A and B are shown apart, each in its own frame.
Chain A
Amino acid sequence: MRIIQSIKNASGIRIDSLQRGREIVFFVNGRSTTAHMGETVHAALIAAGYRQFRKSKTHQPRGVFCGMGVCYECLVTVNQGPVQRACVTMVEEGMEVEIDGS
């Protein structure tokens, strides 16, 4: 497949050579966003163009780092509950994810 994207577009890209679960809708800061069953929150966020998930102790921007649940950098709020690692949380239909991209 060919990627026809200008270098300015920083979104993640879903490649089409992979069979995916059914498409679902979840919410990022209230904004409706598409994802697929079987994806993690972090994969869905990156594919949707979100890169900064939160701010650190001294207010520095943070996002995905290790991608495997070890570093605790990709923390997001899910369904108004406890803060969770986006890279080990599966996305669900109607899920409400809050990130701090400011």
Chain B
Amino acid sequence: MVPEDYDVVIIGAGPSGIGAAAVLAEYPLKVLLIDENNQIGGQLWREPAHKPANRFRDSQGSDLQLDLRAAMGTKMNNLHIISPACVLGVFPEKHILLSTSDESVKEIRTRRIIFATGAREKVRPFNGWTLPGVMTLGAAQILLKYYGVLASSNILIAGAGPLIYLLSSQIIGAGGHVTAVLDRSPAITMLNTKWLTAGQLSKIGQGIVALGRLIKKRVSIKHRMQVVEVKDQGKLQEVTVGKIAPDGTIVQGSQKRYETQILAVGNGFVPNIELPQLAGCDLAYAVDMDCWIVKVDSSMETSINGIFAAGEITGIAGGDKALIEGRLAALSILKQFGKLNSKKHRIQKTALLRKRKRCQLFGTFLYRQWAIYPGEWAEIDDATIICRCEDITMGTIRDWIKKGISSASELKRATRCGMGNCQGRTCGPLIYDILAAYSIVGKQGPPPLSVRTPVKPIPLGMLSHLSS
């Protein structure tokens, strides 16, 4: 296998990856942008499937000036895009091994790497959350916006964060029926003035439009409501909810039942740090967000020289921060390559860092809505599944906590949590929360579960055909 050489490889083509590519593509550098999905855009900039993405707008509506069609043609032929492409491993001296859709494997050597791998959704478990009638908010949204499929005609929305309102509004716009919107955060958080200080006026606008639609359709919006159980009654799902107190307990006698077809639920997002972790980048536990992030300096450089991280993986705060950080990383690389003089770099960097700070405030505000209270874990039934891949229940985990395990790795060894197909992507964040709630580990966080090559499953036949 002859390695291909690049100046910069950007892993992940969501807002931060595309933002970085847009900046770098203006210079005579050999840049590779890859994404594991069939189309680029990540989760936030998905376009309907039949319309291949080639233009992107940031949330303020301004055109990114990145015409990716042209990138393949004459204008920016130094930008190569491969999607889908799955990174098998990142090795010392910036060697990357990729498998592509035709089952071939590429070996890439590069001078700089930008990790822009985004985030995935987190769900606070309850009895029945594994049923086919329950999916994440993102899953329902992808089906609707990307494939034009309403998961069903009646959908109950639960969880927290702006997405529950946005999704409900989108469902109504598509002609669907929203059974109710159950926001587990207190109503007062909607009036939080942090919206303004975070400079997120456009988001307020979006929020008002969404709410307006819901009010017009008389959709029931309830606050402080948490799903406690879902039962499959054939075509219908019976969803039991209860009022959640600030200490995380469910208020006695507050339980209500809803009948619906699909329950879409979400409690925020978790950064996809697996690849940077595998590459050896230092991680940090973000105490204000209860998640592991990649440690970066103000230039978005990680603990490894020449490796950068941008977007949700440095802290969950949405698409605007992701885009800003992608740009910041690209600018840092340009300066390192001598393509941008220090003064110009400093000016642009300062401006971007200012905007970034506002976005980070928004992120912290978001997290407060999503936060699972430590006291909730005691409420969760012994029978509730925590590790979905291996069907490991809360009861089994509690047993081992009593026996005296002291870390996520120990729990994994003892129970098999995290040993299934998803390798801890779904249950890992829950386990870190549980261990913190049971005071097994301090506020600085438990060490994350280890990551090994390959980071995603690969058929043995394909692996054995790699040319050497």
Contacts and interface: CB of A to CB of B under 8 A. Distances in A.
Q: Is the interface of A mostly helix, strand, loop or mixed?
A: loop
B121 interface: yes
Interface string B126-150: 0000111111101110111011111
Interface size class of B (residues with CB under 8 A): 35 or more
A68 B130 contact: no
A66 B137 CA distance: 8
Interface residues of A, number: 51
Contacts of A82: 459
Given A13-B150, A46-B149, A62 B420 contact: no
Interface stretch (B172-180, B200-208, B292-300, B311-319): B172-180
B261 A71 contact: no
B139 A47 contact: no
B344 interface: no
A91 to B, nearest CB: 10
Given A38-B50, A65-B136, A70 B149 contact: no
B36 interface: yes
A61 B150 contact: no
Given A61-B232, A72-B422, A12 B143 contact: yes
Interface in A1-20: 1-3, 5, 7-15, 17-20
Given A46-B151, A70-B120, A13 B176 contact: yes
B49 interface: yes
B148 A72 contact: no
B145 to A, nearest CB: 9
B391 interface: yes
A40 interface: yes
B130 A5 contact: no
Interface string A43-57: 100110001110011
A15 B148 contact: yes
Contacts of A69: 36-37
Interface of B: 36-38, 43, 48-51, 84, 120-121, 130-136, 138-140, 142-144, 146-154, 174-177, 232, 235-236, 259, 261, 385, 388-391, 420-422, 425-426, 457, 459
Closest CB pairs A-B (n = 10)? A67-B139, A63-B132, A18-B148, A72-B421, A43-B147, A10-B235, A38-B49, A5-B153, A51-B132, A1-B175
